[in-house]
Amino acid sequence: MKYQKLFEEYNLSGNTLKNRFLMAPMTRSRASQPGDIPNALMAEYYAQRSTAGIIITEATQISLQGKGYANTPGIYSPQQIEGWKLITTAVHKKGSKIIVQLWHVGRVSSSKVNGLQPIAPSALTAKDTSVYVFDGAPNGDATFVPVDEPREMSKTDNENVLNEFVQAAKNAIAAGFDGVEIHGANGYLLDQFLRSNSNKRMDEYGGTPQNRIRFLIEIAKEVARAIGKEKTGIRLSPFISFKDMSDPEILQTIMLAATELNKLDLAYIHLCEADWDDAPSIPIDFRTQLRKTFKNTIIATGNKTPEEAEQLLQENLADLIGFGRKFLTNPDYPAKVKQNLSLNEISDNHTLFGGGTARGYTDYPFIQKI
């Protein structure tokens, strides 16, 4: 077989995955309103893509305060938990596993989205950063609005957010998920704590890399304690600096975090890698150092070709490979890779975020109907 490793089974902390294809998190903004409730259309979407060995859901807010974009799902209300049960049941029936990505956006929000002033490690507005609402624009398009100035988090805010992550993790298990992924990447709240340019605190949560990783580690520790370390993973993005997140100390900080996460024996670290054409690639020496530092599963996601994915697996620099837009348009992506078939392209960019219908969501064709 051309891609032997990609099509191998893999044991992820006791979960046997049928292959090493991972469907990466992709925000699609189709939760039912009011209440940001997962629904039957979303269940069909995820079930179609259960050709992946494992699915990481779209980012899912742990509270109303943690919400940054319109029509994204939550996992903090009873109605949301019931909605997610539709999805986990559908995915499991198709023989795949599914993990929910737990999300707090921090300063990347606007009162136009959730009616609340954003919170962040420091009262610093993210430059050149916007979020979206749906306000009747043509074609149902999202309207992008600038983020608001955040309020610096108090110790009570920290405690509240930690408790929200823990409760969301418990809710996820109640909803039938196989685990949770703590979102510590892409300029959102926990990434804001990690970076020296967004975290100007002078208490125990800022000032040094050791202090800046503290909140991330506390949350990871408490979530693992609540639902099990084998059900807890984390996503990090050391080489991504959009949303005003450029920090010269981030690689040192991420590796320090990886050392502490290894001590917690978490299930995995998921590297979110830049996926645009001229994006920086992750150096091999960083991947090698991470493998030496973190003993459990490493996931790499970032618009990789099957050839690049297979090479990372063969060289033991990653254990699972995440594919995003290729799964968005090709629900049976692994079969197409195996048969070397052409791929569907995005049919209409207007349907990427929102829309509320099957168009551009569940109507992409399979090789054959499944």
Is 369 a domain residue?
A: no
Q: How many domains does the chain have?
A: 1
Is 362 a domain residue?
A: no
Question: Could you tell me the CATH number of the domain that includes residue 66?
Answer: 3.20.20.70
Count the alpha carbons within 13 Å of 56 in the hemisphere toward its beta carbon.
34
Structural domain that includes position 319: 10-351
DSSP conformation class of 37: B
**In this predicted model, what pLDDT tens digit does every residue of 117-152 receive, in sequence order?**
999 999 999 999 999 999 888 777 899 999 999 999
Ramachandran region, residue 303 (left: φ > 0; alpha: ψ -120 to 50; beta: rest): left
Is 358 a domain residue?
A: no
Catalytic residue among 188, 268, 333, 364: 188
Is 104 a domain residue?
A: yes
Distance (Å, whole) CA 170 – CA 165: 9
Distance (Å, whole) CA 317 – CA 255: 15
Contact between 59 and 25 under an 8 Å Cβ cutoff? The reply is yes
pLDDT value for 276: 65
Is 4 a domain residue?
A: no
Is 86 a domain residue?
A: yes
Does the model's pTM come out above 0.85?
yes
What are the CA-CA distances from residue 367 to residues 19, 51, 139, 343 (Å)? 19, 12, 29, 10
Contact between 252 and 196 under an 8 Å Cβ cutoff? The reply is no
What are the CA-CA distances from residue 248 to residues 29, 111, 282 (Å)? 33, 31, 15
For this structure, is 76 an active site residue?
A: no
pLDDT value for 370: 44
Cβ contacts of residue 34 below 8 Å, gap of 6+?
none
Is 316 a domain residue?
A: yes
Mean pLDDT score, 247-267: 97
Strands 143-146 and 119-120: unpaired
**In this predicted model, what pLDDT tens digit does every residue of 177-221 receive, in sequence order?**
999 999 999 999 999 999 999 999 999 999 999 999 999 999 999
Is 250 a domain residue?
A: yes
